[in-house]
Amino acid sequence: MSDSSSSVSRPELQFGNAWEYAPAPESLGALTLRERYDHFINGKWKAPEEGTYFSTANPANEDTLADVAEGSHKDVDRAVKAARKAYDKTWGPMPARERGKFLFRLARIIQERARELAVLESLDGGKPIKESRDIDLPLVAAHFFYHAGWADKLNYAFPNRNPRPVGVCGQIIPWNFPLLMAAWKLAPALACGNTVVLKPAETTSLTALHLMRLCEEADLPPGVVNVVTGHGETGAALVKHPGIDKIAFTGSTEVGKQIAREVAGSSKRLTLELGGKAAHILMDDAAIDQAVEGVIRGIFFNQGHVCCAGSRLFVQESIVDDVMTRLTNRLQTLRVGNPLDKNTDVGAINSREQLERIRGHVACGCEEGATLIQSSTVSLPEKGYWFAPSIFTDVTGEQTIAREEIFGPVLSVMTFRTPKEALERANNTPYGLSAGVWTQKGSKIFAMAQGLKGGVLWANTYNQFDPASPFGGYQESGFGREGGRHGLAAYCHLDF
Ligand code: NAD
Ligand code: MN
């Protein structure tokens, strides 16, 4: 691998090559790609006003998959107007139970077409097929089913508070869970009677566009959901547009802050789901094998492209040697490679830019004195964007790798002596999205849960998601919740 450090340690794998698997590639099946994708506005595929397209690639081999329309402020304007018209004329006035039927229908079509959407998600974004197939797609369908059920029951979700829709929502999403983030945003907005203009991330627009093909099949009325593709400027045009009533954004803290400044003083509502630097706290009484497995999955899942990734591990000092041995052994058995192979655990990094960011952080960790451990068994493909799963030891709380979000497959291990120290160190971050606690004692779980700053806390498990469970952060991780009744409230006006 090409990262710079000469001090990287690559321990030998125990049990030789017993972990080698024959390739088991998923077939492309029913997936058909267009060469070129236009915007989806007012129920029609619309060429960009300025005629510009950009290409989207497969990060596993750098092959171009398709060309995608670059959205200008004119395209955004057309989409917002279409969404307003649908809000005023069709979707707003429609009885809520009818809106619910459309969402149920869309949920069922997504289930039927889950395989091709999963393959496309892995092709365009680089995530392993077993994740897109077994985690992302089932959750996408579940979000539509869950919110379809709420559509005509909002008065029960918010008794005596007269829930009304907010209006036209501008939704901007990232590349780490492209279709799932679209579902988290679209399903509650539509269930509450709003209409939407969605802006996918520039490296992963294809599944959102395919979802629009499914919206066509579901006969969703024109203008209810519009997709305008493009880069950051397209997103900025959406944020600025005066016809927008609410912005929902998931992405970097830096862009989130820009959006908050832009929206300040306007009547636009805003929810932000930003970065994280989640901590695991691993106590000496924990079931260590389960904890190690949870920690490994919590950071190497989706190449660490997860805002709630457990990127810091605090281990109680008395068990650190044992934990490090087991972590290192497990690191060696992770299978890195072709995202479409059903055996792959860790896929491709989403883009060259993200790969450069991760390399920069890791080089910085080595310079600041941490020790890098990587697998001796991983050989990274020649083409595409790859980074070997990595663990840092000899980490101090002041080092950049312990403070800044890396958004890649890199775990920093530190130690603590007392639960109080663990809490202080885990909370010493400007973020506050999530955390994990590993202990056999319920009382310790509750004590930690009280003390940890984070919107989401997992105990003896990690990265579990459910549409009924609110997700979101504190501090620089943003505000607002997605999922559950809290998530619905973000898309309603409510009386007090
Ligand atoms: P980003 O915040 O730049 O992009 C997220 C989305 O916002 C994309 O759709 C992008 O086109 C859009 N966008 C960019 N600039 C915008 C602007 N000025 N106004 C409106 N929309 C804008 O994220 P990135 O550059 O792709 O990744 C950078 C870092 O963000 C990553 O290293 C990671 O730390 C973090 N990130 C976090 C999440 C998360 O889920 N919280 C997701 C992706 C990235
Ligand atoms: Mn892509």
pLDDT tens figures, 290-314:
999 999 999 999 999 999 999 999 9
User: Which residues does the annotation mark as catalytic?
Assistant: 273, 307
What average pLDDT does this structure show over 266-277?
Answer: 94
Please tell me the predicted confidence (pLDDT) of residue 18: 62
The percentage of residues in the chain with a pLDDT greater than 90, rounded to a whole number, is: 91
Q: Which residues pair with 165 in a beta bridge?
A: 492
**Residue with CA nearest ligand 1 atom 10:** 232
Please tell me the predicted confidence (pLDDT) of residue 197: 98
Atom of ligand 1 at shortest distance to CA of 238? Answer: 20
What average pLDDT does this structure show over 210-223?
Answer: 98
Give residue-wise pLDDT tens across range 348-362: 999 999 999 999 999
The band of 11, judged by pLDDT with boundaries at 50, 70 and 90, is: confident
pLDDT at 19 over 90: no
The band of 476, judged by pLDDT with boundaries at 50, 70 and 90, is: confident
- Min mean pLDDT across 13-17, 36-40, 57-61, 408-412 is at 13-17
Please tell me the predicted confidence (pLDDT) of residue 22: 87
Q: Is the CB of 129 under 6 A from ligand 1?
A: no
Give residue-wise pLDDT tens across range 44-81: 999 999 999 999 999 999 999 999 999 999 999 999 99
Q: How far is the CA of 114 from the centre of ligand 2 (A)?
A: 19
Please tell me the predicted confidence (pLDDT) of residue 303: 96
pLDDT at 15 over 80: no
Q: Is the CB of 205 under 6 A from ligand 1?
A: no
Please tell me the predicted confidence (pLDDT) of residue 273: 94
Q: Which ligand is nearest to the CA of 68?
A: 2
Q: How far is the CA of 274 from the centre of ligand 1 (A)?
A: 9
Q: Which ligand is nearest to the CA of 405?
A: 1
Please tell me the predicted confidence (pLDDT) of residue 2: 43
Instruction: Specify the pairing of strand 478-479 against strand 269-273.
Output: antiparallel
Please tell me the predicted confidence (pLDDT) of residue 1: 42
Q: Is the CB of 434 under 6 A from ligand 1?
A: no
The band of 439, judged by pLDDT with boundaries at 50, 70 and 90, is: very high
Q: How far is the CA of 254 from the centre of ligand 1 (A)?
A: 8
Q: Is the four-CA dihedral 246, 248, 249, 254 of positive or negative sign?
A: positive
Q: Which ligand is nearest to the CA of 58?
A: 2
* Best of 252, 351, 359 for a ligand 1 pocket test (most atoms within 8 Å of beta carbon): 252
Q: Is the CB of 201 under 6 A from ligand 1?
A: yes
The percentage of residues in the chain with a pLDDT greater than 70, rounded to a whole number, is: 97
Please tell me the predicted confidence (pLDDT) of residue 14: 66
* Best of 172, 305, 476 for a ligand 1 pocket test (most atoms within 8 Å of beta carbon): 172
What's the one-letter identity of residue 318? S
What average pLDDT does this structure show over 121-127?
Answer: 98
Q: Is the CB of 247 under 6 A from ligand 1?
A: no
Q: Is the CB of 252 under 6 A from ligand 1?
A: yes
Distance CA 390, CA 380 (A): 13
What average pLDDT does this structure show over 205-211?
Answer: 98
**Residue with CA nearest ligand 1 atom 15:** 232
Atom of ligand 1 at shortest distance to CA of 276? Answer: 41
The band of 474, judged by pLDDT with boundaries at 50, 70 and 90, is: confident
**Residue with CA nearest ligand 1 atom 27:** 252
**Residue with CA nearest ligand 1 atom 35:** 252
- Taking all residues of the chain, what is their mean pLDDT, rounded to a whole number? 95
Give residue-wise pLDDT tens across range 170-199: 999 999 999 999 999 999 999 999 999 999
Atom of ligand 1 at shortest distance to CA of 255? Answer: 2
Q: Which ligand is nearest to the CA of 207?
A: 2
Please tell me the predicted confidence (pLDDT) of residue 16: 62
Q: How far is the CA of 55 from the centre of ligand 2 (A)?
A: 8
Q: How far is the CA of 73 from the centre of ligand 1 (A)?
A: 19
pLDDT at 491 over 50: yes
Q: Is the CB of 260 under 6 A from ligand 1?
A: no
pLDDT at 4 over 50: no
The band of 8, judged by pLDDT with boundaries at 50, 70 and 90, is: confident
**Predicted TM-score (pTM) of this structure:** 0.95
